[in-house]
């Protein structure tokens, strides 16, 4: 018999898991957060992500997290599209058009690990939250009343932990998803992306904004600025046939940066990494008491910066429903609604936005390129159309649609 105080088990202290754990903690739900990284190496994770859109900033503000991450990031009111062939700006979008829609008419550039670090500091202050670092979920079971998480702890022992629900915030390789036999289908892009972080004044020297998408039929690029410490990150596509060691070499990275923007000195490179990108969506986000949120439910290309944002939106949506079930005001059928609502966003917003962005910057046909560039230019120049455009890119439109899905 499951104890009345059995916790909700949240697996993974990434943005999705931390947001859900915070929401549950603040609604008096006993919560156990399991994370495979240890206390000692949690902050050593590869830096990724960071464009946090107004819709998510609203949620972070409600959790009390915004005020902690704002000083650790950079406020980016605008984003730009550039044509690499003519080295000219195609369009600049300004979030100021959302001034009547949100308290946060800007994007906050703040890396994923800083969000998780600040959320973990907050979580440690709640007596109803238990955090198990260095603990890895390896399997799970469930029956009508509860779940059992099978984990290996820091000492390498296997333990069985009981809970009322288990939520995967584990990222793309979710054990919960596999143990629940949930299909995860879609495709992997036929290129790898090289990301290089540098210290350089791209804004002052070339007029780039803090967030830039660069269209080029041969080699698209993205350029973003991060704060504390100040860094720029450039992304280029690379061929899967190329040797990863060569792609990560100083010579190759320097040559790509010089081609991107010639500089009289070698670039000051502080980090480099290759990653693959995918478009995959889970068949369902709920099976009984096992649930998926964030990358465990959907992974997408990072071009548009919506993966983490939509994962946090999953968590807040799910948190409301779990609290309702646990306090008796909702029944288990709301979890089917969770799938209907959030799968709609994964397919019709996150996947669509990121696929469209990739096509826009990668287009080879000169006529289509010109049409795309004209469309972006005209949209940015018209405040009404620019607002509609940013309501979509910031996922605010997706939340409006979600509210209407029963």
The helix (H) or strand (E) run that includes residue 118 is helix 112-123
The answer to whether 11 contacts ligand FAD (rule: CB under 6 A) is: yes
Which spans in 207-333 are helix H? 244-247, 250-260, 307-326
Quote the CA–CA distance of 76 and 71 in Å, as a whole number: 13
The distance of closest approach from Cβ of residue 74 to ligand FAD in the complex, given in angstroms and rounded to an integer, is 12
- Residues in 54-93 that interact with ligand FAD by CB under 6 A: none
Quote the CA–CA distance of 68 and 73 in Å, as a whole number: 10
* Residue 406 burial (CB count, 10 A): 5
Backbone angles phi, psi at 27, to 5 degrees: -115, 30
Which tokens belong to 37?
């990284």
The answer to whether 180 contacts ligand FAD (rule: CB under 6 A) is: no
Q: Dihedral of the CA atoms 244, 247, 248, 249 (nearest 10)?
A: 120
Closest among 325, 329, 353 to 338, alpha carbons compared: 325
Q: Which residue of 23, 295, 316, 360 would you call a contact of ligand FAD, by CB under 6 A?
A: 295
Q: How far is CA 278 from the centre of its chain?
A: 13
Contact 319, 24 (CB under 8 A): yes
The answer to whether 306 contacts ligand FAD (rule: CB under 6 A) is: yes
The distance of closest approach from Cβ of residue 136 to ligand FAD in the complex, given in angstroms and rounded to an integer, is 4
How far apart, in Å, do the first and last CA atoms of the chain sit?
Answer: 33
* Choice between 50 and 73, CB closer to ligand FAD: 50
Quote the CA–CA distance of 239 and 225 in Å, as a whole number: 25
Which tokens belong to 303?
């071009």
* Choice between 37 and 189, CB closer to ligand FAD: 37
The answer to whether 396 contacts ligand FAD (rule: CB under 6 A) is: no
The answer to whether 305 contacts ligand FAD (rule: CB under 6 A) is: yes
The answer to whether 311 contacts ligand FAD (rule: CB under 6 A) is: yes
Stretch that binds ligand FAD, among 46-54, 263-271, 284-292, 367-375 (CB under 6 A): 46-54
Stretch that binds ligand FAD, among 57-65, 96-104, 283-291, 307-315 (CB under 6 A): 307-315
* Choice between 339 and 373, CB closer to ligand FAD: 339
What x-and-dash track marks residues 244-273 binding ligand FAD by CB under 6 A? ------------------------------
The answer to whether 146 contacts ligand FAD (rule: CB under 6 A) is: no
The answer to whether 137 contacts ligand FAD (rule: CB under 6 A) is: yes
* Choice between 338 and 373, CB closer to ligand FAD: 338
The answer to whether 113 contacts ligand FAD (rule: CB under 6 A) is: no
* Choice between 301 and 373, CB closer to ligand FAD: 301
The distance of closest approach from Cβ of residue 6 to ligand FAD in the complex, given in angstroms and rounded to an integer, is 19
Closest among 13, 44, 21, 47 to 275, alpha carbons compared: 47
Backbone angles phi, psi at 69, to 5 degrees: -90, -25
Closest among 41, 23, 54, 49 to 110, alpha carbons compared: 49
* Choice between 270 and 330, CB closer to ligand FAD: 270
Q: Which residue of 14, 134, 146, 227 would you call a contact of ligand FAD, by CB under 6 A?
A: 14
Number of residues that bind ligand FAD (CB under 6 A): 33
The answer to whether 51 contacts ligand FAD (rule: CB under 6 A) is: yes
Non-local CB neighbours of 115 within 8 Å, separated by 6+ positions: 15, 18, 52, 60, 65, 69, 308
Interface residues with ligand FAD (CB under 6 A)? 11-17, 34-37, 48-51, 112, 136-137, 169-171, 175, 195, 275, 294-295, 302, 305-309, 311
């Amino acid at each position: 018999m499951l104890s009345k105080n059995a916790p909700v088990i949240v697996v993974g202290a990434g943005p999705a898991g931390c947001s859900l754990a915070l929401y549950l903690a603040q609604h008096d739900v006993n919560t156990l957060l399991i994370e495979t990284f240890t206390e000692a190496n949690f902050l050593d994770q590869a830096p990724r992500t960071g464009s946090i859109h107004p819709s998510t900033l609203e949620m972070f503000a409600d959790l009390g997290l915004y005020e902690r991450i704002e000083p650790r990031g950079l406020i980016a009111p605008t984003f730009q599209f550039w044509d690499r062939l003519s080295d000219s700006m195609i369009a600049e979008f300004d979030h100021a058009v959302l001034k009547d829609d949100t308290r946060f008419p800007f994007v906050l550039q703040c890396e994923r690990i800083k969000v998780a670090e600040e959320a973990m500091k907050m979580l440690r202050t709640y007596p109803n939250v238990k955090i198990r670092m260095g603990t890895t979920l390896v399997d799970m079971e469930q029956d009508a009343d509860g779940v059992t998480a099978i984990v290996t702890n820091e000492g390498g022992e296997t333990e069985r932990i009981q809970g009322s629900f288990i939520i995967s915030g584990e990222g793309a390789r979710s054990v919960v998803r596999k143990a629940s036999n949930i299909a995860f289908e879609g495709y992997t892009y036929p290129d790898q992306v090289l990301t290089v972080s540098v210290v350089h004044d791209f804004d002052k020297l070339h007029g780039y904004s803090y967030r830039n998408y660069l269209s080029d039929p041969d080699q698209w690029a993205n350029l973003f600025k991060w704060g504390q410490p100040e860094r720029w990150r450039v992304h280029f596509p690379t061929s899967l046939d190329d040797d990863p060691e060569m792609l990560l070499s100083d010579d190759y990275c320097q040559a790509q940066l010089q081609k991107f923007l010639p500089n009289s000195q070698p670039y000051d490179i502080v980090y480099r990494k290759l990653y693959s990108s995918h478009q995959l969506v889970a068949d369902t986000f709920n099976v009984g008491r096992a649930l998926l949120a964030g990358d465990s439910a959907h992974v997408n290309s990072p071009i548009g910066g919506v993966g983490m944002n939509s994962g946090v939106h999953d968590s807040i949506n799910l948190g409301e429903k779990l609290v309702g079930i646990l306090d008796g005001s909702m029944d288990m059928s709301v979890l089917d609604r969770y799938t209907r609502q959030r799968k709609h966003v994964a397919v019709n917003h996150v996947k669509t936005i990121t696929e469209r962005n990739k096509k826009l910057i990668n287009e080879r046909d000169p006529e289509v390129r010109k049409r795309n560039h004209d469309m972006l230019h005209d949209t940015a120049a018209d405040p009404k159309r620019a607002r509609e455009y940013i309501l979509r890119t910031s996922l605010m439109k997706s939340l409006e649609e979600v509210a209407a899905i029963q």
